Amino acid sequence: MREGGCAPQAVFLVGFMGAGKTSVGRALGNQLGWPFEDLDDRIQAQEERTIEEIFQQSGEAAFRRAERRALRTLLSELGNSPRVIALGGGAFVQEENAALLNQPGFAAVFLDAPVEELFRRCMQEASVRPLRRNREQFSELYAERRPQYMTAGVRIVTTGKDVEAVAAEVAECLGLRPRSARAKEL
């Protein structure tokens, strides 16, 4: 269990492109019986355009402002409703966003893998990632962001593990019991 001994009410999955934040988030939400939300989906709905379009039409700075607004709105809606949230690869490295998540009841979990593995995963995806570029730029951006990811309360290495196993490991590290374990106790 994480420091402090209290199970979180909200789990924020952080990490670089290809880390599996969305896939693990869906699996974790399903295992816990908690709603799952991808912050990028909220941003796209709020802005009425894709992440790629925001980057192309307005630039990264405008995207980061939209991201911060979406995160603040999401946090204001949480209340006592538990939730699993996947953040975009750059969200947690923004100082203000990381500070917003550093409060009781929130857990930031860094899903980690070697940069070569992350690049391979991204190249297999059909989706467009505005900051994916070439292998060298990808590696440089990963190296730049990794120190901030390492400040998350929990780090899970995802290499060689399937999505369900990673989700179960996150739950175990945070002291959260899957819905099936809670049902057996009743």
Domain 10-179 has CATH 3.40.50.300: yes
The residue ranges of every structural domain in the chain are 10-179
Contacts 24+ apart (CB under 8 A), 114-117: 114/159, 115/16, 115/139, 115/142, 115/143, 117/18, 117/159
More confident residue, 46 or 179: 46
What is the pLDDT at residue 23?
95
Mean pLDDT for the stretch of residues 92-98: 94
What is the pLDDT at residue 181?
55
Mean pLDDT for the stretch of residues 118-125: 81
**What are the tens digits of pLDDT across the range 135-156?**
888 899 999 999 999 999 999 9
Would you call 160 helix, strand, or coil by DSSP?
Answer: coil
pTM of the model: 0.89
Mean pLDDT for the stretch of residues 120-147: 77
pLDDT above 60 for 129: no
Q: Which residues pair with 84 in a beta bridge?
A: 11, 36
